[in-house]
Amino acid sequence: MRIDTTDLAGVLVLRPEPFRDDRGLFTRTFDATEFDAYLRSRPDSPAVRACDFVQDSQSRSVRGVVRGMHGRSGDGEAKLVRCAHGAIHDVLVDIRPGSPTFGRSQAFLLDDVEFAHLFVPPGFLHGFQALADVTDVCYRIDRPHDPREDLAVAHDDADLGIVWPLPVTTISARDAAAGSWKDLLAGLTSSENPADVLW
């Protein structure tokens, strides 16, 4: 497994090395030993380790669906994201006050050809668009989900300026009612302790 840095501070792409032959392929999608060794070798890495991931979830979406942009207040959450079937246009936005990449976004292609994982530390908005007729996305998070801590910014917020590669076919009612980037920023700047709002 190769681990690459990205343009967003703390975000990593974990790239397995699938073995392919006439039968198809075999790949180790995640290696806890390599992941932990990499994080220990970098002084700026978050404190999370492979054993901290406590919940696994999976979603299935059809082509054009957008899920996002979602975040989490309080302590936030670290997550591993991969596309087990199909392909997604995955987008992250740094919402950590004081981060050198605060407010910046980056998009990634995750698919069932390369099997790359994203490691997302606490303090990001996350969303994706399904690029295949059947798209399965797997998530691992480092603490149990608490809906009271959910944050959301509209996928089409003009200030975020996210460009989705396909026409958006379907979003959830919750995502349709999501707030704006300006609302989220106002919450950050009005809090005496931004860590109360975001991780």
Residue 24 maps to a domain? yes
CA distance linking residue 115 with residue 26, whole number of Å: 11
Sheet strands side by side (includes 105-111): 105-111, 87-94, 124-130, 66-72, 150-152
Positions in the chain short of pLDDT 50: 193-196, 198-199
Burial 2-30 (b: 16+ CB within 10 A, else e): ebeeeebbbbbbbebeeeeeeeeeeeeeb
pLDDT digits (tens, 9 = 90+) for 119-153: 999 999 999 999 999 999 999 999 998 999 999 99
In a domain, 157, yes or no: yes
Residue 99 forms part of a structural domain? yes
Residue 69: asked if its preceding bond is cis (omega within 30°), the reply is yes
Predicted local confidence at residue 44, as pLDDT:
81
Query: Is 98 part of a structural domain of the chain?
Result: yes
Residue 143 lies in a domain: yes
Q: 12 in a domain, yes or no?
A: yes
Active site residue 70: yes
Which CATH number belongs to the domain containing residue 164 in this structure?
2.60.120.10
Say which of 117, 126, 139, 155 is annotated catalytic: 139
- Residue of 38, 70, 85, 145 with catalytic role: 70
Could you tell me if residue 147 is inside a domain? yes
Q: Quick one: pLDDT at residue 189? A: 65
Q: What is the pLDDT, as a whole number, of residue 191? A: 54
Do 78 and 71 form a contact (C-beta atoms < 8 A)? no
User: Residue 10 falls within a domain, yes or no?
Assistant: yes
pTM for the full predicted model: 0.91
Q: State the total domains in the chain.
A: 1
Q: For residue 143, what pLDDT is reported? A: 92
DSSP state of 190: H
Structure tokens at 11: 């975000």
Do residues 164 and 127 touch, judged by C-beta distance below 8 A? no
Q: Which domain holds residue 53?
A: 2-188
Q: Degrees (nearest 5) of the Cα angle 94, 99, 103?
A: 35
Q: How far apart are CA 92 and CA 105, in angstroms?
A: 5
